[in-house]
Amino acid sequence: MEDQKAENLLNLALSVPEETRERTEELNVGYDRVERTWEIIVKYHGNLESTLNEQFPGVSGTYLLSSFAILRVPERDVPGVIALPEIEYAEKPKRLFFALNRARAASCFLPVQTGTDGLTGKGVLVAVIDSGIDIFHEDFRNEDGTTRILYLDDQISGKTYERREINEILRGENKSGGTGGLSLDTSGHGTAVAGIAAGNGRTSGGLYRGAAYESELIIVRLGIPDSVGFPRTTELMRGMDLAVRKALELGRPMAVNLSFGNTYGSHDGGGLLERYLDSLAQMGQFVFVTGSGNEGDSGGHARPVIEPGKITEIRLSVGTYETGFGMQIWKNYEDGMRIFLRDPFGGAEIELVPVRGTDRIRVGETELLIYYGEPSPFNAAQEIYIEFVPERTYVESGIWTFRFLGTGDEETAADLWLPSAAAVGRDTEFLESSPDTTLTIPSTAFRPVTVGAYDSGTGIYAPFSGRGDTRVYRAQKPDLAAPGVGIMAPDRDGGYSPVTGTSFAAPLVTGAAALLMEWGIVRENDPYLYGEKVKAYLRKGARRLPSELVYPNPRLGYGALCVADSLPK
């Protein structure tokens, strides 16, 4: 199958047999081998549900806000469903990865929490879409022992718990049974994120209090549909949809924290996940906050500059015991270049030739699946996707060399991305890597506040923090940075532990956004203080650290979070 209304990765996955997909990490994501169905994300118009019921009764779906949907489609029906005139574009799910007290003082929370303003987040919702939460942790309970959680949507158990049901469980204090897994946060990631954004610090006597510590919480525990242990973009979209619907139903302002991301896509805001996030951000008094990811020093991005008539080489080091991975090459469609590949054994040079459909090349004990894509109705860029598939167990290790020959009249460039560092071995990286444009998706979307990380102890950018800017359009990302090294946060055992990563810088900004909306909307100082206006205030109030000479910049954006200076004077 080849359909220009479907992304390259979906086209490639549908063009190869299941046996081949199972030897890869990414191609089979979204496929249910028992039911023989595909889960696909679509942007549509019109009455898609009615059309599907009439023409494809075996298709089921979750219809999201803003004319997006997640469909479960029998494998044989996928081409026909995508061909429907109501379908504008389709993508397959991707795996998501975690982006992993001095912080409050460094970010100027104390003056606004304890001064004349006395901001606490009261009246504002904080939504955390993550790995769950420890509902028994005292930092998420009121003085009388009741929960601060309004809703907890557990995608793993398939149930949404309201405050009343959570309080019934808390009264029983039964942590091991009868909760349907409600109290579990197996990684502890979501508990830490929620605590930094909104924990009240009861366990520590207020020492490790979060930012918006009197806000009420909406928690989504993301489902993990396979044994790999990573949620998918479809679970994230369902979680965002639920949070927005609840906030609209309650008529409350809401700050939403997203501390997951992945590296697949053009990194310019054009993917369906990014477009969906941008559309939700404009539906009410909301602020969405994303971490910039932890790919800054992973070696997972390269940007060859290609001169006319000259060769530029990018070497890809593949470590031992690599079980398969994909690599993306993104370029402007109009840019002239030829791409060649040399294997680690010094064999003949292979040219990656544009062909219709999937090209399959055998190199030693590795098969290369190459899909030379076209621009789509939503993106003018061109992607060449290469899947390294082991014939037996592992991809051939060593140095794979990509050679780019400029065939146009002007200098041009390409962007190469590997999967997230959490998905490949530590020795798999580009040797000529670039730390810029290492933002994870969806932090490349336009509307959310994108947050990088710095070390508040040294005042220096954290080298793991994903850097901007976005590809092609060069929009300023990240917007600002927050402490993300050694942050004390609630853990799943009822105490506190230090955590590091942009995952934990983002919730500081989420909490800050909640305080600004409390001051503006709840206290009626400015009923329009949400969305892009909050982003502008946070940017303006950011402190310029002496470690950087030029602002804004791709590492810290407009500077380090300072809530006190972000409030209107």
Over residues 329-354, the pLDDT tens digits come to: 999 999 999 999 999 988 879 999 88
Mean pLDDT of 526-536: 98
Query: How many CA atoms does the CB half-sphere of 114 hold within 13 Å?
Result: 8
**How big is the chain by its Cα radius of gyration, in Å?**
24
Q: pLDDT band at 376, cuts 50/70/90?
A: confident
What mean pLDDT do residues 100-104 have?
58
Cα within 13 Å of Cα(286), Cβ side: 25
Indicate the residue among 92, 107, 133 that finishes a domain. Answer: 92
Confidence band (pLDDT; 50, 70, 90) for 173?
Answer: low
Q: How high is the pLDDT of residue 357?
A: 82
Q: Which two tokens stand for residue 52?
A: 């599907």
Domain hosting 386: range is 301-430
3-state DSSP assignment of residue 277:
helix
Q: Looking at the domain assignment, is residue 482 inside a domain?
A: yes
Q: Are residues 136 and 251 in the same domain?
A: yes
Other C-beta atoms within 10 Å of 58: how many?
A: 12
Q: Which of the pair, 157 or 213, is modelled with greater confidence?
A: 213
pLDDT value of position 107: 85
In-domain check, residue 154: yes
Where is average pLDDT lowest: 38-47, 166-175, 312-321, 508-517? Answer: 166-175
Same structural domain, 113 and 225: yes
What is residue 431's predicted lDDT score, i.e. its pLDDT?
A: 98
Q: Does residue 290 sit within a domain?
A: yes
Cα 492 to Cα 187, 258, 305, 319: the distances in Å are 8, 19, 47, 34
pLDDT of residue 177: 44
Q: Which residues contact 165 (CB under 8 A, 6 or more apart)?
A: none
* Shared-domain flag, residues 400 and 425: yes
CA pair distance 290, 506, nearest whole angstrom? 6
- My answer on whether 334 and 475 are in the same domain is no
Q: Are residues 316 and 425 in the same domain?
A: yes
Q: Domain with 172 in it: what CATH number?
A: 3.40.50.200
Query: Around Cβ 443, how many Cβ atoms within 10 Å?
Result: 32
d(CA 432, CA 299): 8
At residue 432, the pLDDT reads 98
pLDDT of residue 101: 55
In this structure, the answer to whether residues 457 and 353 fall within a common structural domain is no
- Name the residue with tokens 């409050």: 104
- Residue 218 and residue 182 in contact, taking contact as beta carbons nearer than 8 Å: no
pLDDT reported for residue 181: 46
Q: Is 70 exceeded by the pLDDT of residue 183?
A: no
* Confidence band of 512 (pLDDT split at 50, 70, 90): very high
pLDDT of residue 487 exceeding 80, the answer is yes
Clarify whether residues 424 and 505 are in a common domain: no
Which residue type is seen at 340?
F
| Percentage, residues of the chain above pLDDT 70 | 95
Indicate whether 3 belongs to any domain: no
Do 263 and 198 fall into the same domain? yes
Report strand pairing: 159-162 vs 305-306: unpaired
Q: Distance between CA atoms of 556 and 542, rounded to whole angstroms?
A: 10
**Phi and psi, residue 108, nearest 5°:** 60, 35
Please tell me whether residues 138 and 250 are part of one structural domain: yes
Is the pLDDT score of 24 beyond 50? yes
Over residues 399-426, the mean pLDDT reads 95
The pTM for the full model equals: 0.93
Contact indicator for 84, 48 with CB cutoff of 8 Å: yes
Where a domain ends, among 60, 92, 124? 92
CATH label of the domain that carries residue 16: 3.30.70.2980
- Lowest mean pLDDT, pick from 127-141, 193-207, 236-250, 345-359: 345-359
In terms of Cβ atoms closer than 10 Å to its own Cβ (0-12, 13-18, 19+), residue 180 is: middle
Tell me what percent of the chain is helix, strand and coil, each rounded to the nearest 5.
Answer: 25, 30, 50
Which of 288, 286, 289 is closest to 521 using CA atoms? Answer: 286
Based on the fold, state whether residues 216 and 253 are members of the same structural domain: yes
Query: Given 376, 396, 430, which residue is the final one in a domain?
Result: 430
- In the predicted model, is pLDDT for residue 153 greater than 50? yes
Residue 278 within any structural domain of the chain: yes
| CA 126 to each of CA 289, 435, 442, 446, 554: distance values in angstroms, whole numbers, following the listed order | 11, 32, 19, 21, 28
Contacts of 205 (CB under 8 A, 6+ apart): none
Interacting residues of 481 by C-beta distance below 8 A, sequence separation 6+: 451, 452, 453, 454, 461, 465, 505, 542, 555, 556, 557, 559, 560, 561
Total domains in the chain come to 3
In a domain, 435, yes or no: no
Residue 2 maps to a domain: no
Q: For all residues of the chain together, what is the average pLDDT?
A: 92
CATH value at residue 414: 2.60.120.1290
Mean pLDDT score, 434-448: 97
Of 240, 239, 229, 232, nearest in space to 282 by CA:
240
pLDDT at 184: 73
Distance CA 235, CA 310 (A): 45
Query: Where does the pLDDT of residue 178 fall: very low under 50, low under 70, confident under 90, or very high at 90 and above?
Result: very low
- d(CA 86, CA 479) in angstroms, rounded, equals 36
Residue 52 resides in a domain: yes
Q: 């942009």: which residue's tokens?
A: 502
Cα separation, 342 vs 348, in Å, equals 7
For 381-387, what is the mean pLDDT?
95
pLDDT of residue 75: 96
Report pLDDT for 102.
52
Question: Do 281 and 320 lie in a common domain?
Answer: no
**pLDDT exceeds cutoff 50 at 31:** yes
Q: Is residue 77 within 8 Å of residue 1, measured between CB atoms?
A: no
At 109 the pLDDT is 82
Q: How confident is the model at residue 89 (pLDDT cuts 50, 70, 90)?
A: very high
Query: Is 50 exceeded by the pLDDT of residue 550?
Result: yes
CB 237 within 8 A of CB 276: yes
Confidence of residue 104 (pLDDT cuts 50, 70, 90): low
> Does position 565 have pLDDT exceeding 60, yes or no?
yes
**Residue of 470, 475, 462 whose CA lies nearest to 439:** 470
Asked whether residue 257 falls in the same domain as residue 321, the answer is no
